[in-house]
Structure 1
Amino acid sequence: MATPPPTGPLVTRDGIAARLRLLGVESGETLLVHTALSSLGWVNGGAVAVVQGLLDALGPDGTLVVPAHSSDLSDPALWANPPVPEEWWDRIRATMPPYDPGITPSRGVGVVPETVRTWPGARRSAHPQTSFAAVGARAAEITEGHAPDCRLGERSPLARLEEAGARVLLLGAGYDACTAFHLAEYRVPAPLVRVGRPAPGGWETVTEVSITSDRFEELGRDFERERPVVRGKVGAADALLFPVADAVAYAQGWLAARRPRAREFPHPGD
């Protein structure tokens, strides 16, 4: 059977940069980008062209930031896609390589973040499960100081992005991918959970704030109705642009009104 021709539109590096400028991306700004490469169309150069187009739009003084999470560095007892046999769990914990920001690949965030992670001059934050990678003028400032027991809270790059006046760009991605909303979870009463992961000295368990993106699409729709969000197209993809600070502030109120209070959750270990 013949391979069907690619579906369009044809998307190129210069076209991406041009459309981003029309959307309102400004040279010199800091941008937290969530992407779905396949939504753009037929991209000449794939993820490399997307990163080049983003950097072109941001200019030499701008900064590109992406999630570079490594969710597979986690307890095999919680794996579901796919699960592994229970008799493997102890051996997996004992032999899982610990996080190394230089070599641990990102997982579950798409090919564009992995391309940014390996870009010349890229910086990556230190959290072994929810790191961020950045390229550009403020890359070190944004990624430094990511505490190992603070996935997406006050001591993570999300708080640095908020302080820096950064904006979020959803490029073919939905609000369920908007990591900025997670910062709000740290500012409302939330349960704590025990999180297992590999470490240089062996397996470790730390206490973290519980996070979930289960209602982020609903949250995003309400946010867009009530706060300014710039909408446009880049290739075939819907593109949304808005300030990190606006997203966090709105989500904080929204989650406080709709999430159960922390005392309604069992204490970790109960």
Structure 2
Amino acid sequence: MSRVVRSAVKRLAQKVLGESDVRGLMRKRKLWLEKKIYRQPVAIAELRQQLTDLGATRGRTLWVQSSWNEFYNVPLRPSEMIDLLRDMLGPSGTLAMPAFPIDQDERKVFLVDKAPVYTGLLCEIFRRNPQVRRSVHLSSSVCAVGPNADFLVRDHHLTDMAWGKDSPFCRLAEVDARMFGLGAGFEFMTPLHAVECLLFDEIPFFHRVFDGRVKYRWKRANGETGEHEYRRRTGDIRPKRLRRHFGPEICVDARLSNLRMLAADAKPFIAQAVRLGRRGITMYIEPAPKPELFVPLDKGSTA
């Protein structure tokens, strides 16, 4: 489906439904329906065992992306859920979550230790913990606590691409992290974006998913300040298109009552995404993934 056709369909849906955010409306209606169907409370012991079975074990580095709306059958507050995860990982484990700022106006100073996130209530409560460290990045910052936290977040503001080498996302693979989606499925797995960064110099197509640059100033609560410039990502994605290429040897699905869960080790997950990218299998629908754009560049060539 072309961009023109998709835009026309979107405008028609907006007109019929009387709602500008069609996807948001559909998610709300889906959640309303699921609450009518899934009413079984989730026992904490059962939740803990399921999380253990999925890989939340002592000493592990755990990356969590979540949708707190889906936790309606779990009798825990967000702070209690975070405490549960940290208790399972123990003092030698590291917990990390996305902390993408709501306000990404590059004309303003990014207040690293104060800016709220749009990546969900669990992430926002986690960000507010004084023990948590946050990476400096206007579009894709990350919060972490534990022995590997510093390694994950310390160099994000030195990167040219938000998800590339030396970013927290690629470093998840280096520390053998386990990745969880809790109430948030495969389509929310941000490390999928590592592909366009890692293959940028190899596959011409991935030059097209970046358009211009972003430069901003940042400031920490301790008075530390700086500037950072990075490539701006563009395009339209459908991550679910890739799900069938990630079998149970890489991605595991589970469910308790309504709560969907997904688990994967970061290293094979990112490696598989890169292999697919080299074959021209991508989550992007815009720019159009034409086969000729996936012919590898010769050394020294530019796209």
| 2:268 maps to amino acid | D
Query: Residues 26 and 106 (structure 1 numbering): CA distance in 2 closer, same or farther, change over 3 Å?
Result: same
Q: Hey, what's the Cα distance between the residues in 1 that align with 2:96 and 2:256?
A: 18
1:196/1:206 contact within 8 Å kept: yes
Instruction: Establish whether residue 199 from structure 1 lines up as the match of residue 221 from structure 2.
Output: no
1:210 equivalent in structure 2: 233
Q: Hey, what's the Cα distance between the residues in 2 that align with 1:148 and 1:103?
A: 22
* Equivalence map 1:63-82=2 (5 Å): 63-74=94-105
Q: Hey, what's the Cα distance between the residues in 2 that align with 1:207 and 1:24?
A: 34
* Equivalence map 1:162-181=2 (5 Å): 162-181=173-192
Instruction: Establish whether residue 183 from structure 1 lines up as the match of residue 194 from structure 2.
Output: yes
* Equivalence map 1:125-144=2 (5 Å): 125-144=135-154
Query: Residues 213 and 154 (structure 1 numbering): CA distance in 2 closer, same or farther, change over 3 Å?
Result: farther
What secondary structure does 1:60 align onto? coil
Identical pairs, percent: 26
1:102 equivalent in structure 2: 113
What secondary structure does 1:217 align onto? helix
What secondary structure does 2:110 align onto? coil
Q: Hey, what's the Cα distance between the residues in 2 that align with 1:150 and 1:193?
A: 12
Query: Residues 59 and 205 (structure 1 numbering): CA distance in 2 closer, same or farther, change over 3 Å?
Result: closer
How far is 1:112 from its partner? 0.8
Q: Hey, what's the Cα distance between the residues in 2 that align with 1:56 and 1:141?
A: 21
What secondary structure does 2:273 align onto? helix
Match of 1:115 among 101, 104, 125: 125
More relative contact order, 1 or 2 (CA 8 Å, 6+ apart): 1
1:219 equivalent in structure 2: 242
Instruction: Establish whether residue 246 from structure 1 lines up as the match of residue 264 from structure 2.
Output: no
What secondary structure does 1:99 align onto? strand
How far is 1:132 from its partner? 0.3
* Equivalence map 1:55-70=2 (5 Å): 55-70=86-101
2:80 equivalent in structure 1: 49
Q: Hey, what's the Cα distance between the residues in 1 that align with 2:174 and 2:82?
A: 24
How far is 1:14 from its partner? 5.1
Match of 2:60 among 18, 29, 52: 29
1:194/1:205 contact within 8 Å kept: no
Higher mean displacement: 27-36 or 209-218? 209-218
| 1:171 maps to amino acid | L
What secondary structure does 1:64 align onto? strand
RMSD: 2.8
Match of 1:156 among 167, 174, 189: 167
Query: Residues 12 and 103 (structure 1 numbering): CA distance in 2 closer, same or farther, change over 3 Å?
Result: farther
Gaps of 5+ in 2: 1-34, 220-226, 282-288, 296-303
How far is 1:9 from its partner? 3.6
| 2:242 maps to amino acid | L
Q: Hey, what's the Cα distance between the residues in 1 that align with 2:233 and 2:170?
A: 17
C-alpha distance after superposition, 1:167-202 (max 9, x if no partner): 11111112121011111121223123214454259x
How far is 1:45 from its partner? 3.5
What secondary structure does 1:224 align onto? coil
How far is 1:63 from its partner? 0.8
What secondary structure does 2:79 align onto? helix
Higher mean displacement: 180-189 or 232-241? 232-241
Q: Hey, what's the Cα distance between the residues in 1 that align with 2:123 and 2:218?
A: 25
2:24 equivalent in structure 1: none
TM-score (structure 1 length as normaliser): 0.76
Q: Hey, what's the Cα distance between the residues in 2 that align with 1:200 and 1:23?
A: 37
1:34/1:170 contact within 8 Å kept: yes
